[in-house]
């Protein structure tokens, strides 16, 4: 993107002077203008999918020639597919010695992307961003695709578009980056963005210049909204303040109702899915799989994909290795899916987001339990659920050797409470390394039944010694809950 903009954003970023707007417009030699929205992991991109609207007309999938197709590439392909827009593949870093762009094309075949050189429909361009090789060809490919799609918009009407990102700026108040998709937005217009409204006090383009009006496909930052709208919401210019207030209040009421509804029941929630399946409203169980190692994630993905019967099937949207991130939660939210975690945990930001959005994360450490649960969900039955309540988390600060006890972890309880009687797991980078019980829980020199959040303590595991500083200890209790179909 930097190479295309012929300006090196990276060089300025350190000083933090550039307007980080997340969308850029460039003029190609032929005179056409192209707007780029940065990165597919972009929350707006996922949020729009949730609304079934697509903010982009096409997706440029950048694959490094030396790395080939990586997990994040696969994620990007899934997002593009779900948004139902054409793909253009840019194979980057072709200036590196010994790279084989052919390998990338073969790997893409596994994900059902057939490039033109292999007789398919997808345009592919081999580029080098650092050496500026074939960037003009990439822009030509984009213009060609635009001609094929016959993209048009009427500039002479009230503006409509989408919020790409938003933030609360100390000096300027709520700032929203919006992409105008229809009509023209003018300074002084009254707009409603998501559930917020306001008069456009100022408009800035991606280079920080003031604008009086913005036409279709132009990304601009607008100031003057009453609050920070959510990324992915649509915005619209309205005729007067009364209308703006009316729309804004209606949307806020809807948000409150939705919050009340999701407080009791999540959107991606197995029990709810069952109720919908039994009522005949839903025909598939969607899952996102995250596991500790590639082998497990593949095995779970394949096994789950085979489950289901004539009426209901299990669809694996995404399976990958490593901790659960916010991007996974957004993908699950967008597709009403359940996240299935095998020996991995969510980052704390992802945990908060899942709670806010009502996305269910189900943790497993035995592959058969996982498969049985999903199988029973697909067949409309659920056995009593053994729910784990995470009652606390502790961060290991340092590790001591104590004679007669072995290795003891000096910990700080970061949230909740640690109990001597509870089960414990050792997490390294949010991946489960060990599960067991505590041999000792000490506060100063004394053995204690529990330690509260914010306090320090010593812990040693029963029959396990491989503990390191910065590992996290998860403390949990199990309870059995009978399943009821509400």
Each residue of 387-414: pLDDT tens digit?
678 899 999 999 998 888 889 999 999 9
Q: Which of 76, 70, 75, 71 minimizes the C-alpha distance to 56?
A: 76
Q: Answer yes or no: are the C-beta atoms of 427 and 472 closer than 8 Å.
A: yes
Rounded Cα gap, residues 212 and 252, in angstroms: 30
In this prediction, residue 128 carries a pLDDT of 84
Rounded Cα–Cα distance for residues 319 and 409 (Å):
34
**pTM of the prediction?**
0.53
End-to-end C-alpha distance for the chain, whole angstroms: 50
User: Within 10 Å of residue 482's Cβ, how many Cβ atoms?
Assistant: 8
**Model confidence at 252, in pLDDT bands (50, 70, 90)?**
confident
- Round to whole Å and give the CA distance between 65 and 98: 10
Which residues are CB-contacts of 54 (< 8 A; sequence separation ≥ 6)? Answer: 48, 83, 84, 85
Identify the pLDDT of residue 139: 86
Mean pLDDT score, 68-96: 79
State residue 409's pLDDT score: 93
Q: pLDDT per residue over 177-212, tens digit each?
A: 888 888 888 988 889 888 888 888 989 887 778 888
Confidence grade of residue 267 (pLDDT, cut at 50, 70, 90): low
**Is the pLDDT assigned to residue 261 strictly greater than 60?**
no
Range with the lowest mean pLDDT among 8-17, 245-254, 293-302, 459-468? Answer: 8-17
- Tokens 């920070």 correspond to 228
What is the rounded CA–CA span in Å between residue 178 and residue 231? Answer: 9
Measured distance CA(152)–CA(240) in Å, rounded: 27
Cα(206)–Cα(213) distance, integer angstroms: 14
pLDDT at 451: 93
* Residue 315 near residue 306 (C-beta atoms within 8 A): no
- Of all residues in the chain, the percent with pLDDT exceeding 70 is 82
Q: Which two tokens stand for residue 192?
A: 């409603």
Nearest to 195 by CA among 236, 239, 150, 146: 236
Pairing of the two strands 173-182 and 160-169: antiparallel
Q: For residue 474, give the nearest of 380, 389, 359 by alpha carbon.
A: 389
Distance CA 51, CA 335 (A): 10
How far apart, in whole angstroms, are the C-alpha atoms of residue 40 and residue 21? 15
Quote the pLDDT of residue 416: 92
CA 116 to chain centre: 30
Q: Which residue has the tokens 């992991």?
A: 41
Pairing of strands 123-126, 87-92: parallel
Cα–Cα distance for residue pair 270/422, rounded to 1 Å = 26
pLDDT tens-digit map of 419-477 = 988 899 999 888 888 888 888 999 988 999 999 999 999 999 988 889 999 999 999 98
Q: So what's the pLDDT on residue 292?
A: 80
Write a three-state SS string for the chain: CHHHHCCCHHHHHCCCCCCCCCEEEEECCCCCEEEEECCCCCHHHHHHHHHCCCCCCCEEEEEECCCCCCHHHHHHHHHHHHHCCCEEEEEECCCCCCCCHHHHHHHHHCCCCCEHHHCCCEEEEECECCCCECHHHHHHHHHHHHHHHCCCCCCCCECEEEEEEEEEECCCEEEEEEEEEECEEECCCEEEECCEEEEEEEEECCCCCECCEECCCCEEEEEEECCCCCCCCEEEEECCHHHHHHHHHHHHHHHHHHHHHHHHCCCECHHHHHHHHHCCCCCEEEEEEEECCHHHHHHHHHHHHHCECCCCEEEEEEEEECCECHHHHHHHHHCCCEEEEECECECHHHHHHHHHHCECEEEECCHHHHHHHHHHHHHCCCCCEEEEEEEEEEEEEEEEEECCCEEEEEEEEEEEEEECCCEEEEEECCEEEEEEEEEEEEECCEECCEEECCCEEEEEECCECCCCCCCEEEEEEEEEECCCCC
The structure tokens listed for 266 are: 């999540």
In angstroms and rounded to an integer, the radius of gyration of the C-alpha atoms of the chain is: 26
In this predicted structure, the answer to whether residue 146 has a pLDDT above a threshold of 70 is yes
């Amino acid at each position: 993107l930097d190479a295309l903009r012929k300006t090196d954003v990276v060089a300025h970023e350190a000083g933090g002077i550039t307007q980080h707007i997340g969308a850029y417009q460039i003029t190609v030699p032929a005179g056409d203008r192209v707007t780029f929205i940065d990165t597919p992991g972009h929350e707006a991109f996922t949020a729009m999918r949730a609304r079934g609207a697509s903010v982009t007309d096409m997706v440029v999938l950048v694959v490094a020639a030396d790395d080939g197709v990586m997990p994040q590439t696969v994620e990007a392909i899934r997002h593009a597919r779900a948004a139902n827009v054409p793909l253009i593949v840019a194979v980057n870093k072709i200036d590196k010695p010994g790279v084989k762009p052919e390998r990338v094309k073969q790997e893409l075949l596994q994900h059902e992307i057939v490039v033109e050189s292999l007789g398919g429909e997808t345009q592919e361009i081999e580029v080098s961003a650092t050496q500026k090789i074939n960037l003009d060809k990439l822009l030509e490919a984009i213009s060609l695709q635009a001609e094929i799609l016959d993209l048009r918009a009427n500039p002479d009407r009230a503006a409509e578009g989408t919020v790409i990102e938003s933030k609360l700026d100390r000096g300027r108040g709520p700032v929203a980056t919006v992409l105008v998709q229809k009509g023209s937005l003018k300074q002084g217009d009254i707009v409603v963005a998501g559930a917020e409204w306001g008069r456009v006090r100022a408009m800035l383009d991606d280079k920080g210049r003031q604008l009086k009006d913005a036409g279709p496909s132009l990304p601009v930052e607008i100031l003057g909204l009453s609050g920070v709208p959510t990324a992915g919401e649509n915005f619209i210019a309205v005729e007067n303040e009364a209308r703006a207030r009316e729309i804004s209040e209606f949307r806020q009421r809807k948000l409150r109702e939705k919050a009340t509804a999701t407080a009791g029941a999540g959107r991606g929630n197995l029990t709810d899915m069952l109720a919908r399946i039994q009522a005949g409203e839903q025909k598939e169980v969607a899952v996102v799989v995250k596991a500790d190692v590639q082998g497990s994630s593949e095995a779970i993905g394949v096994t789950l994909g085979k489950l289901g019967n004539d009426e209901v099937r299990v669809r694996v949207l995404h399976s990958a290795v490593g901790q659960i991130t916010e991007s996974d939660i957004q993908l699950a939210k967008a597709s009403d899916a359940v996240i299935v975690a095998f020996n991995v945990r969510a980052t704390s930001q992802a945990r908060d987001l899942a709670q806010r959005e009502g996305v269910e994360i189900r943790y497993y450490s035995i592959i058969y339990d996982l498969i049985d649960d999903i199988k029973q969900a697909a067949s409309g039955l659920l056995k009593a659920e053994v729910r784990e309540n995470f009652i606390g988390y502790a961060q290991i600060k340092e590790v001591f050797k104590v004679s007669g006890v072995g290795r003891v972890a000096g910990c700080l309880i970061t949230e909740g409470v640690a109990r001597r009687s509870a089960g414990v797991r050792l997490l390294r980078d949010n991946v489960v390394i060990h599960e067991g019980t505590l041999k000792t829980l000490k506060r100063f020199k004394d053995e204690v039944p529990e330690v509260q959040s914010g306090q320090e303590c010593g812990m040693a595991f029963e029959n396990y010694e491989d503990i390191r500083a910065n590992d996290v200890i998860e403390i949990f209790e199990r309870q059995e809950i009978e399943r009821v179909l509400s």
